[in-house]
Structures are given as structure tokens and as C-alpha cells.
Amino acid sequence: MLDFLRAKHSRMLVWALLVLLVIGLAGFGITSSGALRSTEIARVGDTEISETEYTRAMQQEMRALTQRLGRGLTMAEARQYGVDNMVLSRLVNDAALDEEAGRLGISVGDETVARQVMDVQAFQGPDGRFNRETYVNTLGNVGLRPAEFEEQIRGEVSRDMIASAVQSAVAAPTATARAMLGYVGEQRAFSWVRLGPEALTEPLPEPDDAAIQAEYDAHPDAYTVPETRRLTYAAISPEELAETLEVPESDLRAMYEAEAERFNTPETRLIERIGFGTEEEAAAAMARLDGGEVGFDALATERGLSAQDIDLGAVPASRLAPEAREAVFGLAEPGLVGPVPTPLGPSIYRVNAILSGSTTPFEEARQDLRRERALKLATDEIANESAHLEDLIAGGATLEELAEETNLELGKLAVTASSSEGLAADQAFRDAALQGETGIETDLVQLASGGIASIRVDAVEPPRLQTLDEVRDQVVTAWRAAETTRRLEALASGYAEEIRGGLALDALATRLGATLQSGGPVARSAQLPGAGPAFLAAGFAEEANAVFETPDGDDVLLGSVTEIVPFDFTAEANGDIVANAESQLRGQVADDVLTLYTNAVRDAAGVSVSPAQIDAVLSRIP
């Protein structure tokens, strides 16, 4: 559902401050035009979308994607994934509602804008009140002036007013929600017998030539080799380069000392704590514990504390206040200690277990440290050499020459769209291989491992249907599997007729020496242990007590619907489920209504876009 159309108006401000990712529309109907002013990339009616607006929105989206993906996104990647169109569609829909607000005479006063600004937490000073200097500096960090930001707020509030008016008439589709819940919430129970190849009463015959030919002709895709690209590549990974690097002993010792906590695990103790308001209360409680009048857990319950409230987990001495540290870690074995004065008040502690610390000597840690340091050095060296390698490739160097002059290793590989081994397991490498031009070295490919590669497609072999002679064994195996399933289905169908004639399923299981299995009640979206999704789907398509059969891997299941449990709309436990379903469906319908309204406004106003200016803007964004 297109829920961004209403809520996004207030969220856009937060993007500028918190760089959150919002997913918008992937596309919309627009026409191209070159009649825009030089500072515009698009126009909806009389409302313009400036280059500055588009640049800022793209940069915000790119930062959000970088934060979400954990790596930088190139503009080429962003355009490949449609980020540029998504941002443009969002701005066009905003402009359409701005145009409608102008037509309707909707405007927002300065007081409303001021309240909106002063409510933004990012603009507040240490005292929790609006701070003008913080306001100006925060906006400056994202390339906005106060006047621009306030105009954005004015527009967003106006758009929200239109959205609220359009969506206010949407009624709760109660009947639809209940119908959906009735379908999704229904549960069923089943019994079934599994028929495997051993259930066949006659051995499978050897297929004749006609049967083999028919199987081969019926499934050409199974015997077609996909397009194959024969590659030469020059590549290096940090792991490969790291093996050749020398790491000074001094570096390893410095790493060991800098990560002392990693190699020296302190003793910890599993402890629980009950706090008290006064020393008298704590002393009285400790006396009751010592006298056996009450247990520690019971005492916690008396004070309204749950197990989670008192559990501190595995705690090292450094995390306790000095007084508590001495008392808790002074115990030689698990037990109670207290009352102990702490910054949180007098406390009684229970030590449940003592977990010994450990120390990894430098000699034992050396190998791991060397590997980590070498990988870091290798990754840095590869990054530093990338520009030089790009220059060599741009200058016409072949992969063979790259391998001679640098640390890159030369190799050959055959790659298809489904390849998933070795270098072809890397998505960027595989994409470059599938998109490369024959005989031309590609630009450097950044690999997920931190390595780099350049690829040359030496030959492209088109898809080829293998001859029957090449795949005869494969075809025979496929025929045997298909024929076994066909015979099992026929056998199950015959048994099903017997059951419909009065034979009980459990009696059939006894006759066959098979196990009668049962399960449920379960919902149609659940998993049924012992049976696959196809069995569950088939069972939910049948009536109560119906018998049905369905393939399950190499077997066939003969099943029966033993119980149908409708969703109980009157159950108190289901009240929230019903209310949530109605609310969600109402929200989705309201969003769709707003989408239709916005599309109509946009189409009536007319949209003009300059692809050339958009390309120019995107080319300037790093």
C-alpha cells in the first residue's frame, strides 16, 4: 500500500535530520519536456521542482541507503536500483498536492509553522527549550536555510490538511476484514498415510526408447545448458595478498596490549540483587533470610519484583560499586551477602555461580593477530593500488600485462547466470561477467571480500539443448522419478475411492502396514510436521471429512480433513486481532484513496520533466 503519501509530509523533515530511509513510489506517468527554466528539473502545473530540491532529496536518500547497507552507494548503483525515479516520484506527488493546496486556497499561518519548528527535538538546547543557534547550525549541516526549512513545513502541513480531508470519509470495511480473518484464521486438523515407492506392488519396468524420448521432449529446459561466458580474469583478494605480507613483531605486541580485554577475560559472577529503602529494612530482611523464614525468590516477590527485575547477569568486579565489589567477590562460593551499602541503597546480593576468568598468552594469540593485521594491511594496499590499476587499464593494459606487473593473479573461468562457486559467487564479479563486452577488459570490480578484479569475456556460448545421447542417464533418472510418482498417485487414487466407499483411513493404514499420522488444528499459513506445504494447501481446499491425495517429495500422501475450526470472532482473546485487522485494512484503503486523488490532481495539472537536467544534476552528486 502507498502509505507514504500522507505520513511522509512530516517525515521528510526528519530525513534531513536523522537520515532515515523512506520507500516511495517506484514510478508514475509523466511526460518529458525541454521547456523548463534552467533551475528546474520538473514542474507540476505552476509548481516547480528545483535542481536544489532534487539534489538535496537525492543526497538524503543516498545517505540513508549508505547507513542501511553499511557501505557507500555509487550513483550508478542508485540509478540501477531506481532510487533516482523514486525520489523524483516523491517530489512530483508533493508538488501535485502543493498545486492543489494553491488551487483550494489552503495556507498555513506563521504561528503554526513556529510551533512545528519549536517542537523538533533536534533544535532544542541543553535546557530542553528551542535554541535559535542550534536551529540554524543543524539546518546548515544538511544544506538548508531557516527560510527554506520553514517553507517546507508550511507545504507539508498544507499537504497533510488535504490528505486528512481526502481520507476522512473512508469507512472501516468491517465485512471485508472479517472475511479475511475468517479465511486466514480458520484452522484444520488432518490424518494421513504416506505412500512411498515401497508401496508399489510391481517393480518399475525399464523405459523403452519411446518413453525416454517423450521424457526428453517434455522437459527441454532441464537439458539446456544456459548461456556460458568464457572469461579471463586478473584478481587479488586480501586473503591471498595477506599471505605474502610480513607483519612486524612490534605491531602484533601493540595490538595485543591495545586489546587487553579481548585476551584477558575477568572473573564474573552470576548475581541477583534486591534493593531496600533503608538499612533497617535491609537488615531485617537479611535476618529473615538467615533464619530460613523466607527464601530469596519469595522475598523478591514480596517486594513486587520479578525475576527479570533482580537479575544482573554475569558481572565482572569492575561493574560493581566498591562496597558491593568487595562483598560479592569476597565470597568463596555461591551464596547470600548483605546488607551492602550501594549508590542505589542498601542491597542484598545472591551469587548463583562463579565463572572463572581466562588469559590468552601472547604466543597463543600471535597467529590470530598476525592474520588480522595482515588482512588490514592487504585491504589498505589493494585500496591504495586501485587508482594505479585503473590507469593501467585505461591505458590499454591487458589482463596478462596486469598480472605480470602487479600482484593480481591471472585465471580462467566459465560463468552462467546461476554460477555460485569461487569468484562467480561474488555478485559484482558475476554481474560484470554477464554484462562485459567480448574482448574488452572491464573496469576494476570491487569484490565483497575487499578484493579487486578485472574481467575479459573471451567467448559467449549461447544456450544449447544437449542431445539425448549426452543426457540419456539424466533423462532415465527423471523418467523413473516421474513414473514412480504417477504410479503412486494412481495407487492413492484407488485407495481414496475405497475410503469414500466406507473404508476407514486407519484401517487402510493397518492393511498396508503403514503409520497413520495426524496433526493440527493448524492455520493455512502454518507448518504441519510430517507433511509439506502442498498437502496443507490441498487440505484447506477440501470439505470436512474429505479424502485427498497430493505428492510430497518422492512420496504421495493420502489424507483426510478430520476437523475444521472456524475463527472465533466472539472470543475475548481475538478482540485485539479483529480490531487491528479492521484498522490496518482501513488504513490501507485510506492510503489507496489518497493515491488515486493525488494521481488525479497530478494528471489534471500536467507534469513536465527534463531528463537532460536530471542527468546533469545526478552527474554532479559524488
The residues near 494 (Cβ < 8 Å, ≥ 6 apart) are: none
pLDDT in the model for residue 26: 33
Residue pair 156/575 in contact by the 8 Å Cβ criterion:
no
CA distance 540 to 528: 12
**Mean pLDDT across the stretch 168-190?**
81
Helix axes 174-185, 575-605, angle to 10 degrees: 130
**Residue 334 vs residues 136, 269, 307, 353: alpha-carbon distances, Å:** 58, 9, 18, 6
Q: How confident is the model at residue 557 (pLDDT cuts 50, 70, 90)?
A: very high
Residue pair 338/286 in contact by the 8 Å Cβ criterion:
yes
pLDDT at 487 over 90: yes
- pLDDT > 90: percent of the chain: 32
CATH architecture assignment, domain 4-169+598-620? Orthogonal Bundle (1.10)
Asked if the domains 228-246+364-462 and 267-356 are classified in one and the same CATH topology, the answer is: yes
- Name the residue with higher pLDDT: 136 or 515: 515
Residue pair 158/113 in contact by the 8 Å Cβ criterion:
no
Domain ranges of the chain: 4-169+598-620, 187-221+470-565, 228-246+364-462, 267-356
CA distance 351 to 328: 7
- Share the mean pLDDT of the chain: 84
Could you give the count of Cα atoms lying within 13 Å of 170 in the half-sphere of its Cβ? 20
pLDDT in the model for residue 189: 95
Q: What does the H/E/C string look like for 416-462?
A: CCCCCCHHHHCHHHHHHHHHCCECCECCCEECCCCCEEEEEEEEEEC
Q: How confident is the model at residue 171 (pLDDT cuts 50, 70, 90)?
A: low
CA distance 73 to 59: 11
- Name the residue with higher pLDDT: 81 or 171: 81
User: Which residue has cell 500422501?
Assistant: 557
pLDDT in the model for residue 97: 87
CA distance 190 to 396: 69
pLDDT at 37 over 70: no
- pLDDT > 70: percent of the chain: 93
Q: What is the pLDDT of residues 377-413, one digit of tens each?
A: 888 888 888 888 888 988 899 999 999 988 899 999 9
CA distance 491 to 194: 12
What is the maximal distance between C-alpha atoms in the chain? 96
Whether cis (ω within 30° of 0) applies to the bond prior to 521 is yes
pLDDT at 248 over 80: yes
pLDDT in the model for residue 173: 66
Q: How many CB atoms lie within 10 A of CB 251?
A: 15
The grid cell for 133 is 543557534
Residue pair 479/204 in contact by the 8 Å Cβ criterion:
no
**Mean pLDDT across the stretch 434-446?**
91
Q: What does the H/E/C string look like for 352-366?
A: EEEECCEECCHHHHH
Q: How confident is the model at residue 508 (pLDDT cuts 50, 70, 90)?
A: very high
pLDDT at 32 over 60: no
Q: How many CB atoms lie within 10 A of CB 363?
A: 7
**Mean pLDDT across the stretch 564-571?**
88
Please give the radius of gyration of the chain, using alpha carbons only, rounded to the nearest integer.
Answer: 35
**φ, ψ of residue 417 in degrees (nearest 5):** -65, -20
- Name the residue with higher pLDDT: 130 or 227: 227
Residue pair 60/15 in contact by the 8 Å Cβ criterion:
yes
Q: What is the pLDDT of residues 464-483, one digit of tens each?
A: 999 999 999 999 999 999 99
**Residue 157 vs residues 23, 61, 112, 233: alpha-carbon distances, Å:** 20, 22, 9, 56
**Mean pLDDT across the stretch 493-498?**
94
**φ, ψ of residue 317 in degrees (nearest 5):** -60, -35
pLDDT in the model for residue 36: 57
Tell me the residue type at 216: Y
Looking at the domain covering 267-356, what would its CATH class be? alpha beta
CA distance 100 to 598: 9
CA distance 89 to 92: 5
The residues near 345 (Cβ < 8 Å, ≥ 6 apart) are: 275, 276, 277, 278, 282
Task: List the CATH code of the domain at 228-246+364-462.
Answer: 3.10.50
CA distance 93 to 25: 9
**Mean pLDDT across the stretch 531-539?**
92
